[in-house]
Structure 1
Amino acid sequence: MTGNDEDPVGAGALDRVTWALRRAELAVQTLKERRLRPLGLAASHYTLLISVHSEPGLTGAELARRLNVTPQAVASLVARLESRGQVERREHPRHRHVQELHLTEAGRETLRAADKAIADIELRIIEGLGLKESAQLRGLLDQVADVAREA
């Protein structure tokens, strides 16, 4: 940046907390993609599998809202994982036009393997930062999320 009035961004734009968060997110996401690729998964597959595991019976629309993606994106991911036998759709017990999502045994096995890869990434981060700093970072990130939700 040249520092004149015609700069498209403010001074220190690349030093902002939000930019640091984005750089960290991209670095972690890239590492997740690399570690999950040998399992035939993308990070988005892992996210969908762990979401359905944590809340069995989610609908595609609920999942799209939680993941902040379009329903079409979720439908595409579900179709791919369903074709692999990792996710199944079941009719909602009260609303026959609503389809709930559930993991299959193959989906649970895939999630176990994927979660090991993700846990290894977590361990590497903790080793790099230290236990105290990792806990502090987690607390700070929770605060950032709270502040952003309140804004």
Structure 2
Amino acid sequence: MFFLSACTERNFKALNSNQNYAFEYDGFKKILKIQDFNSAYAIFFFTQDCGACNAQIPILNEIYKEKKFPIIAVLNGVQFKEEAQKISLEKKLDLPLLYESKASSFLSKAVDGIYGVPVIVFFDENGKVSEKFIGLTPKGILVDKIKILQ
């Protein structure tokens, strides 16, 4: 006899804040919840050398400040904390940043894979994917999505 479980939990500390994110993923229901978090949120996947990602960061920084909407950045392809800190400073990233490969891998799997960047995935207050934007996305489209979710 054996049991299968599709629920997994992972904890990741944001590099540029004191925030610790405890994610719980239910693969059967396709729900990604953040512990003690009961509102809609977004996850932004990017890489250091992606031109479209570099253009997306200032847009997301503005939205993060203006709308007070939770957006978590996930930096792919970085091995060391110092490298991630340098990139965060160079890009003037205001968003909470997760850089560890285990965070990138876990969150990528939770959104059915990331095959190119930038990708912004919006989740409703229940942790269900509401929409996935691939490529550089204009501010107006993102703000409209946030209005629907708030």
Question: Structure 1 length normalisation: TM-score?
Answer: 0.27
Higher Cα Rg, which structure: 1
Q: Report which of the two has the higher share of helix.
A: 1
